[in-house]
Amino acid sequence: MITWDESMSTGVPLIDAQHKMLFQKFNEFSEAISDVTSREAAAETLDFLQFYATWHFRREEKCMDEYQCPVAAQNKQAHAEFLATFDGFYEKWQNGTITPELVRETHRELESWLVNHIGHTDTQLRQCVEKGIG
Ligand SMILES: [Fe+2]
Ligand SMILES: [Fe+2]
At 133, is the pLDDT very low, low, confident or very high (cuts 50, 70, 90)?
A: low
Contact at 8 Å (CB) between 29 and 107? yes
Give the chain's domain count: 1
At 80, give phi and psi (nearest 5°).
-60, -45
Q: Nearest ligand, CA of residue 64?
A: 1
Cα 102 to ligand 2 centre (Å): 24
Residue 122's Cα: distance from chain center in Å? 11
pLDDT tens column, 7-17: 999 999 999 99
pLDDT tens column, 37-93: 778 889 999 999 999 999 999 999 999 999 999 999 999 999 999 999 999 999 999
Cα 105 to ligand 2 centre (Å): 21
Residue 2 in any domain: the answer is no
Angle between helical axes of 72-94 and 100-120 (0-180°, round to 10): 170
For the segment 19-48, the average pLDDT, to the nearest whole number, is: 92
Residue 1 in any domain: the answer is no
Residue 127 in any domain: the answer is yes
Residue 7's Cα: distance from chain center in Å? 17
Return d(Cα 86, Cα 37) in angstroms, integer.
23
CATH number at residue 13: 1.20.120.50
What pTM was estimated for this model as a whole?
A: 0.94
Higher pLDDT, 133 or 122: 122
Angle between helical axes of 13-33 and 39-66 (0-180°, round to 10): 160
Q: Show the domain range for 32.
A: 9-131
Return d(Cα 46, Cα 42) in angstroms, integer.
6
